[in-house]
Amino acid sequence: MASYSQDTHNDIYPSDQGHDSSKTNSKEKVPLDNEKNDIDDLHSGHHVPVVENGFGGGEGAKNFRNMTKWDTTFALLTNQVGLGVLSLPSVLKTMGIIPGLIAIIGIGLLSWYTAFVLKQFFGKHQQCLNVVDMTRVVGGRPLYIISGIALMVQVIMTAASASVTLSIAFNTISSHAVCTVGFIGIACLCCWVLCAPRTSKFVSQSGIPCMVSVIAASILVMVSLGVKNPTAAPADWHKDIKIVANPDFRSGLNACLKICYAYSGNINFVTYMAEMIDPVRDFGFALAWLEVVSILFYVVVAIAIYCLAGEYTVSPALGSAPELIAKIAYGIVLPAVLSTGLAFGHTGIKYVYVVVMKRFKLQSEMTTNNVRSWSIWMTIVTIFWLLCFILSNAIPVFDSILSIASATTISWFTFGFSAIFWFHMNWHQLFSSPTKILLTCLNTFLIGISLFMNAAGLWSSITELLDLFAADSSQIQGVFSCGSNSIF
């Protein structure tokens, strides 16, 4: 494995960031030597000092490192609990209740483990500002470039999926009053406005509205289905609930890709850690809250809506409700969908912003409130959402854009890269104990499943999209289509 050299450290965390290296806002700066690469030293009980990373502010600059453990908890919830849950009831319809629940819980626990590995790796390399910086530590410039491109692909696709979902909501609420291209444009404009603030703390402040809206919309749909049949169901309908279904390979794989999308928040975790006051101490607390809440919420929503709607369960799940209730639910869930666009948009924009500021040797102005730094930020915001607008119109179908995003890069940022980081930290002790042997096998499996999702996942999701375009019953006949992408 590649070792962490001083040159790599200087490239990720340049010395001329406008900060006095002897003064780091009362935070102790510690050397990151290669002698402490044992993963277990983070469990020793000793507090790991906070390392300056360029976001701590300075004279005339704003301190970006201002997130507490509760700020981070709400940011993580905003980041992860949103669009993904709307596809999970249809996962149970495809796989059956028992296999579907096993997959939802199992993939959730895996994402918790891989996020914990990110925390451990960050504790040793706190100069990293995002997950791409981490890949440079283990793979040098080649992996840094590849992962940087992959990060932008994922955040653009995820932000685009938020735009697609917003267009579905607008089409449903208005009964397709405007061309879908126009609704996608309105969605991207709303997200563009939300991404104007430069700090991650703004993302955390949308956490409570996000959670309230998605929980309220889900409860409304469940209650409505409890008292009235789905719109398409006949009057004498009897539910056909599958305990264990028998999907074909493509359908089963696409169902798993939707679950992976629901746990796709890991890509943003390092960005939030970089803006925490004490990430090594507090991130584990926020992560535990996120995973427990999200797994429980996903299970409850998935099983409740599927058991109430049966074979008439659709994706997004809000469309399973009677038409009037679905319109109300889409209106309620708008803050959660907008928050997803905000969370992933902010991560991608912040990554490009840091790269640009370093490229032009403007590190000292990264947190400064001046015309130049704000002009660079808003230019990146504008270009980012223009790209999202184009991609949203190229893949204007909810299920397809989720599956393609999962197959393209989510598998690596949620599972694969964390496994690589684990191998980097434990390369000389892979078989030193029974626990290490099990973890070695687990992380090897995570890399293998990431490769598998790239190949088979892209095939299954793209062919499903092409079949949908070709279907006579579909109103969406291709890219930049004005046809309605709503359920009704």
Cα distance between residue 101 and residue 362, in whole Å: 49
Say what the pLDDT of residue 55 is. Answer: 54
d(CA 368, CA 19): 12
From 435, 449, 444, select the one nearest 39 (Cα to Cα).
435
Q: Taking residues 117-145, what's their average pLDDT?
A: 93
Q: What is the pLDDT of residues 347-383, one digit of tens each?
A: 899 999 999 998 999 888 888 889 999 999 999 999 9
Task: Over range 183-211, report the average pLDDT.
Answer: 88
Q: Is residue 32 part of a domain?
A: no
95: in domain:
yes
Q: Choose among 410, 395, 398, 421: nearest CA to 450.
A: 410
Question: Long-range contact list for 246-252, CB < 8 A, 24+ apart?
Answer: 247/94, 247/95, 249/460, 250/460, 250/463, 250/464, 251/94, 252/94, 252/95
The CA-atom distances, in angstroms, between 128 and each of 119, 123, 371, 424, 449 are: 12, 10, 26, 16, 26
Residue 258 resides in a domain: yes
Confidence of residue 481 (pLDDT cuts 50, 70, 90): confident
Say how far apart CA 344 and CA 386 lie, in whole Å. Answer: 15
User: Is 266:115 a contact under the CB 8 Å cutoff?
Assistant: yes
**Residue 466 confidence class, pLDDT cut points 50, 70, 90:** confident
pLDDT surpasses 90 at 428: yes
Q: What is the CATH number of the domain that holds 296?
A: 1.20.1740.10
Q: Among residues 199, 54, 46, 19, which one has the least CA distance to residue 126?
A: 54
Which residue carries 């369960």 as its tokens? Answer: 313
Nearest alpha carbon to residue 466 among 373, 397, 390: 397
If you average pLDDT over residues 121-149, what whole number do you get? 93
Higher local confidence (pLDDT), 280 or 64: 280
pLDDT > 70 in the chain, percent:
85
| Residue 482: inside a domain | no
Single-letter residue type at 272: Y
484: left (phi over 0), alpha (psi -120 to 50) or beta: beta
Q: What is the pLDDT of residues 260-276, one digit of tens each?
A: 989 988 988 998 998 89
What is the pLDDT, as a whole number, of residue 391?
Answer: 92
Residues 6+ apart with CB under 8 A from 284: 116, 119
**What is the value of pTM for the model shown?**
0.80
Contact (CB, 8 A) for 257 and 151: no
- The Cα 416–Cα 409 span in angstroms is 10
Of 113 and 454, more confident: 113
Structural domain for 182, as ranges:
67-232+241-470
pLDDT at 156: 93
pLDDT, the chain, mean: 85
pLDDT for 296 beyond 50: yes
> Which spans in 310-370 are helix H?
323-359
Q: Is there a domain that residue 215 lies in?
A: yes
In a domain, 487, yes or no: no
**Distance between CA atoms of 125 and 134, rounded to whole angstroms?**
8
Place 36 in a pLDDT band, splitting at 50, 70 and 90: very low
Q: How many degrees, rounded to 5, is the angle at CA 390 between CA 388 and CA 391?
A: 65
Distance of CA 245 to the CA centre of its chain: 28
pLDDT above 70 for 56:
no
Q: What's the structural domain count of the chain?
A: 1
Residue 191 belongs to a domain? yes
For residues 466-477, give the mean pLDDT: 73
Rounded CA-CA distance 159/180 in Å is 17
Cβ neighbors of 162 (< 8 A, separation 6 or more) are 82, 83, 187, 191, 337, 338, 340, 341, 344
Q: Tens of pLDDT along 80-105?
A: 887 789 899 999 999 999 999 999 99
SS3 assignment, position 449? helix
pLDDT of residue 64: 66
Tokens found for residue 446: 């995570």
The answer as to whether 29 is a domain residue is no
Rounded (5°) CA angle 165-166-170: 120
